[in-house]
Amino acid sequence: MPFRQRLKNIRRRISYSRVFVEALAFCGFAAMKLLTSTLRVRLYIHPSVQEQLHRGPLLFAFWHGRQFLLVPHFPSWNIALMSDLSWAGDIQTRILQRFGYTVVRGSSSHGGMRALLTLKKAIEAGHPAAFAVDGPRGPAFHAKPGILFLAEKLGLPLAPVATSAKPAWTLESTWCRYLLPKPFARCVAVLGKPIPPRSLAAQATTAELDRILNELTVRADLLVGATYHQASLRTTA
Q: Is the dihedral of CA 136, 141, 146, 147 positive or negative?
A: positive
What predicted TM-score, i.e. pTM, was given to this entire model? 0.88
pLDDT of residue 98: 95
Element (H, E) at 195: none
CA distance linking residue 62 with residue 133, whole number of Å: 6
pLDDT of residue 97: 95
55: helix, strand or coil: helix
Q: Per-residue pLDDT for the chain (237 aa), expressed as one digit of tens each?
A: 676 777 667 777 878 788 999 999 999 999 999 999 999 999 999 999 999 898 889 999 999 999 999 999 999 999 999 888 888 889 999 999 999 999 988 765 665 677 778 888 899 999 999 989 997 788 999 998 888 888 888 889 999 999 999 999 999 889 999 999 999 999 999 999 998 877 665 556 788 899 999 999 999 999 999 999 998 888 876
Tell me whether residue 19 is exposed, middle or buried, using C-beta atoms within 10 angstroms of its C-beta: 0 to 12, 13 to 18, 19 or more: exposed
In sequence order, the 6+-apart residues with CB closer than 8 A to the CB of 221 are 164, 227, 228, 229, 230
CA distance linking residue 34 with residue 214, whole number of Å: 29
pLDDT of residue 203: 55
3-state helix, strand, coil in the chain (%, to 5): 50, 20, 30
CA distance linking residue 89 with residue 143, whole number of Å: 20
CA distance linking residue 144 with residue 135, whole number of Å: 8
